[in-house]
Structure 1
Amino acid sequence: MLHILALFLLCAGATAGLQCTVIPGNLKQVDAGAGKVYGVNDNDNIYHWENNEWKHLPGKLSHVTVGPAGVWGVNSGNSIYKWQNNNWFNVSGLLKQVDAGGNKIVSGVNGEDSIYCLNKQQTLSESSDLIYTNIEGSLKYYSCGPFGCWGVNSANNIYYRFGVTSTACQGSRWQQIEGSLVMVEVGADGSVYGVNSAGDVYERDGISAKNPIGTYWIDLVIGFSARHVTYDAGELWLLTLKGDIYRCETNDNQCTVMPGNLKQVDAGAGEVYGVNDGESIYHWVINEWRLIPGKLIHVTVGPAGVWGVNSGNNIYKWQDNNWVLVSGSLKQVDAGGNKLLSGANGEDLIYCLNKDQTRSKAVELNYIRIEGSLKYYSCGPFGCWGVNKDNKIYYRYDVTSTACQGSRWQQIPGSLVMVETGADGSVFGVNSEGSVYKRDGICANNPIGTSWTQLNTGFTASHVSYDAGELWLLTQRGDIYKCEVNV
């Protein structure tokens, strides 16, 4: 079941509870990233969490990190090491804390709280003599993610660094953020967590690509005093003052990270299809993605079959195990209605095909023009939903399999960049901040529902699709999540 975490969005200082599990072992520092977890104990022994147990690695480190830039660490003498070819490789430089969570950059602070970083070219190099870039300012802890870097200084003041990229890791300017933390960590999806001097754990709410500093801090109710926190893929790892280890679920969505990387996904009629940035097409079969021949930028599956469009807005139908080119031009297409097809073209004009056309094997099809202008349009058993270029949301009444054009529009409160309708009539959407919403109260007697509920996904989304109790979500980086949901 998908529970919604009440964050009291209008009130700073909101609280949220976590579901935590005690993990065996004892650590003084832990880091999660790129689907992996590493840690070190009081004796500077290094461990890797693998197959639900800690595996001891050779070497001695006082701090370890894992992320897009790989696995790095520093020892008690502040010497820096990179895990390379299954060995620790000593590289130039001195740091007391290091972070590999940025876009293939490495950052950290030295014994004098001076801040340094390595650009992507340096982290990918196998050379031991690396060129560090000094960043203005003074911090005792520094961590990076896809939307920028966060740090805390000796007075526990919090700062955000703008303009950080993989080729300009030094960024451009600092902004102080309200609050007080002794350490802060940034997840691969841009989420930010920190611990204060009292051992309380906080999450930064409202972070997105457009608002990388977020809005306010949420106090997470953990039931113990923490000294360290790290986050990856929906899991928060916490250490107590005594070094006890807790792994906590940061959302109640029961989401699973799926293999692969996609820019668009569609679920319907018990099947799931997707396309990646290279326009390759995939079909989810027996728990794996199977490559299908052809190139598409958007694919859809539903009662009307499997359809897609390519970069030239040409329309294809999957027929007799082949893509058949049919007439028409659309940039986005949806097969989720009652055996009808709908979509929008390059000029945001809206078209649909009645059931007799989608079931035909003809390549010359008779499209029906629908009044209005939308950039995204999706249909279900109770009607069709769409969003326009201004992210306004509209519902189309009286759509049937023989009159796909429907009768009239009604604007729905809210703002979304895309919306998808499930085969059961449920409606989900994503807004410009990457937040995911579900439309409540939808039924045959009330097809427009009652209100929007924000789902606590724990990451910033770019795309959503729903079928048969499963919500498929893509992050802005193309990571794939499948979440169990009871609508």
Structure 2
Amino acid sequence: MGWQKVDGLLTQLAVGRGNNVWGVNAQDNIFRYINGTWRQVQGAATYVGVGADGTVWVVNRLNQIFTWVDYAWIQIFGSLVQISGKLLLIVGDKTHVWGVNNASVIYFRINGDINTNNLIWTPVFGSLIDVSVASDGTVWGVSSTHDIYKWAGYDWIQVGGKLKQIYVSSRDLIVGVNDNNEIFQYVNNTWHQLDGSFRYVAISIDGILWGINNGSEIFTRQDNLISQIDSNNNSQTINHGTNDSQSNSNIIIGLAMGLGLTIIIFSIAILIIVRHYKKASILRVT
């Protein structure tokens, strides 16, 4: 289907499920995408994170953290410059939020309770400038040297490639952009380039892609490499079915030819036996 332009200008956006998209512009205004239109939401932020369950978190220019509850922003203890919040299904219905601060220190929120206290944010060893956590618990990040890392539950594992920004919605839906604004999707343990040029990219849990270019223009597309591969696999399956039919036809033809040859040989054998019997009878009469 390709990239389709969406009205509006944003500096950053986040998407949960389907078209549950939130974003911020250069004036720190917050917007929510509703029925094909950007609707401004009260408050000011420089970064927004949206969970698969609809949870929304933002960070403002003072690095203060807020979460959206009952149509109002509630401030959360802590100080982050970038957050990524998703519903982690592996811990039931608790909302976990990961983020980094100005010193590139990584934190995660250990439960979904919005009550503020010092024990809720837990530091994670390592240093990242960008982090993204998926609804299935998958966590990826990018370092200051644009190296890519995946959280193994106890350690960061480096993944080949270089990206300046990464976005994860599941263990199978991972996208990012490099220094040249080239877009990549991680499929079958390999980075595959997508068409287009964006400085920021996101993907929903159901595979819908969103991107922002250098002019802050917004684009979206319904297909991604996973859906393309599935489509190709379906086509291959259909082709395999055709080959199987041809093979079955060849088998039937072969069996028929073999049966016909057997009948011919059997008939010749009977004819020889009959002739031999007649000759033997003539000799006895004489």
TM-score using structure 2 length: 0.75
2:69 alignment counterpart: 84
Supply the distance in 2 between the matched residues of 1:108 and 1:34 (Cα, whole angstroms). Answer: 20
**2:4 aligned to which of 1, 14, 21:** 21
2:138 alignment counterpart: 148
Q: How does 1:371-390 map to 2 (within 5 A)?
A: none
User: Hey, which of these two has a bigger chunk of strand by percent?
Assistant: 1
The alignment partner of 1:107 has SS state of: strand
Q: How does 1:90-169 map to 2 (within 5 A)?
A: 90-101=75-86, 103=88, 104-119=95-110, 121=111, 123=112, 125-129=113-117, 131-145=120-134, 146=136, 148-163=138-153
CA 155–85 in structure 1, closer or farther in 2 if over 3 Å, else same: same
Which string of whole-angstrom CA distances, capped at 9 and with x for unpartnered residues, describes residues 378-435 of structure 1? xxxxxxxxxxxxxxxxxxxxxxxxxxxxxxxxxxxxxxxxxxxxxxxxxxx9xxxxx8
Q: Does 1:179 align with 2:161?
A: yes
Supply the distance in 2 between the matched residues of 1:157 and 1:191 (Cα, whole angstroms). Answer: 19
1:404 alignment counterpart: none
1:166 alignment counterpart: none
Supply the distance in 1 between the matched residues of 2:214 and 2:40 (Cα, whole angstroms). Answer: 22
The share of aligned pairs that are identical, in percent, is 28
Structure 1 residue ranges without an equivalent (≥5): 1-17, 164-171, 207-214, 256-428, 430-434, 450-487
Rg bigger for which structure? 2
Q: Does 1:231 align with 2:231?
A: no
Note if contact 2:209-2:224 (Cα within 8 Å) is conserved in structure 1: no
Residue 249 (structure 1) shift: 2.4
Q: How does 1:390-469 map to 2 (within 5 A)?
A: 439-441=237-239, 442=241, 446=245
Supply the distance in 1 between the matched residues of 2:226 and 2:207 (Cα, whole angstroms). Answer: 9
Q: Does 1:245 align with 2:228?
A: no
TM-score using structure 1 length: 0.45
Supply the distance in 2 between the matched residues of 1:62 and 1:448 (Cα, whole angstroms). Answer: 62
Count residues in correspondence: 233
CA 89–252 in structure 1, closer or farther in 2 if over 3 Å, else same: same
Q: AA paired with 2:163?
A: L
CA 436–72 in structure 1, closer or farther in 2 if over 3 Å, else same: farther
Which string of whole-angstrom CA distances, capped at 9 and with x for unpartnered residues, describes residues 16-40 of structure 1? xx60100000000011113311000
Q: AA paired with 1:28?
A: T
Instruction: Indicate the RMSD between aligned Cα atoms, in angstroms.
Output: 2.6
CA 253–195 in structure 1, closer or farther in 2 if over 3 Å, else same: closer
Structure 2 residue ranges without an equivalent (≥5): 89-94, 249-286
Q: Does 1:72 align with 2:72?
A: no
User: Hey, which of these two has a bigger chunk of helix by percent?
Assistant: 2
1:272 alignment counterpart: none
Residue 179 (structure 1) shift: 0.8
The alignment partner of 2:237 has SS state of: strand
Supply the distance in 1 between the matched residues of 2:22 and 2:116 (Cα, whole angstroms). Answer: 22
Supply the distance in 2 between the matched residues of 1:229 and 1:31 (Cα, whole angstroms). Answer: 9
Residue 444 (structure 1) shift: 11
Note if contact 1:71-1:82 (Cα within 8 Å) is conserved in structure 2: yes
Supply the distance in 1 between the matched residues of 2:226 and 2:127 (Cα, whole angstroms). Answer: 39
Note if contact 2:23-2:30 (Cα within 8 Å) is conserved in structure 1: yes
Q: How does 1:309-324 map to 2 (within 5 A)?
A: none
**2:195 aligned to which of 221, 231, 238:** 221
